[in-house]
Amino acid sequence: MADSKKKEPNKKKSVPAAKTSWGGVADWYDSHLETEKDSYQEKVIAPNLIRLLDIKKGMRVLDLACGQGFFSRKFAAKGARVVGADISPELVAQAKKRSPEIAYHATPAHKLGFAQGQSFDAVTIVLAIQNIENMTEVFAEANRVLVPGGRLLLVVNHPAFRVMKRSSWGYDEHETRQYRRIDGYLSPSTSSILMHPGQLKSEATISYHRSLQDFFKALSRSGFTVARLEEWISHKKSQNGPRQAAEDTARKEIPLFMMLEARKQ
């Protein structure tokens, strides 16, 4: 466990956490997750993750890039021994306020100096790897802290259908069908995304697009074998109108999120 007194020769030192764009919206993000009861995090991602983790009392879970601890608290409520880590000190401060019983660390995802090797049964990275440039290093560090056979559960915006600035919704009036337009997929790309579009001043975060093969190759290089892939759809329904049926059909057919479960070899 992360609080073990046993020394490990190859244990990495903690490094100072850097300021991030997410830190600038810590209060807004915390309020959004905690007050929006119809969010994707609440209705889609959390129930599916809890199902897949199949938490047993005392299971050791590292919530990597944990933000303000939304999922950390969900896992702890099911009986897991949870540790959270995030690069943003502001978000970690929010997490500590809401759940002081959980250990949180402000540190980059690829340098978990607080953690002994083989100290966790599962690692989760939820809607975060898309904002992290050095993905392979993060996976390698997750592998280091997992027990043999331990699992990494990765949730991302679906890379085949949600490509920042290269995908969009379209509507075919003749066929009365809503469709997803994809203008690029295989090429990696980097996009600056405004946190509050339309406002005169808005923090921005960086989003990195990767294809499916990029994820599989990076996981393989980091000592993982992909054991499961799931695609999760929206739970929401459109309001009454001429496009309602087409929009609701598209929601069921075109997934929002992809989950990869990888096992340490």
**For 177-230, what is each residue's pLDDT tens digit?**
999 999 999 999 999 876 655 666 657 788 999 999 999 999 999 999 999 999
pLDDT of 192 reads 86
Does residue 111 register a pLDDT over 70?
yes
C-alpha–C-alpha distance, residues 60 and 2, integer Å: 9
Question: Which positions ≥6 away from 65 have C-beta within 8 Å?
Answer: 85, 86, 87, 109, 125, 126, 128, 129, 131, 132
Q: Is residue 166 part of a domain?
A: no
CA angle 44, 48, 49 (to 5 degrees): 115
Q: Is 88 exposed, middle or buried, given 0-12, 13-18 or 19+ CB atoms closer than 10 A?
A: buried
Comparing 12-16, 130-134, 177-181, the range with the smallest average pLDDT is 12-16
How many domains does one find in the chain? 1
Q: Is residue 121 part of a domain?
A: yes
Q: Is residue 68 part of a domain?
A: yes
Q: Is residue 172 part of a domain?
A: no
The model's pLDDT over 19-65, given as tens digits with 9 standing for 90+, comes to 455 565 656 566 667 778 899 999 999 999 999 999 999 999 999 99
- Residue 169: in which H helix or E strand, if any? strand 167-172
> Where residue 131 sits, what CATH number does that domain have?
3.40.50.150
Question: Which range marks the domain in which residue 132 is found?
Answer: 21-158+210-240+256-264
C-alpha–C-alpha distance, residues 120 and 197, integer Å: 38
Q: Is residue 108 part of a domain?
A: yes
Q: Is residue 143 part of a domain?
A: yes
In the chain, what percentage of residues exceed pLDDT 70?
A: 84
Mean pLDDT of 73-83: 98
Mean pLDDT of 137-160: 98
**Within 10 Å of residue 126's Cβ, how many Cβ atoms?**
22
Q: Is residue 234 part of a domain?
A: yes
Predicted TM-score (pTM) of the model is 0.86
C-alpha–C-alpha distance, residues 110 and 143, integer Å: 11
pLDDT of 205 reads 82
Q: Is residue 129 part of a domain?
A: yes
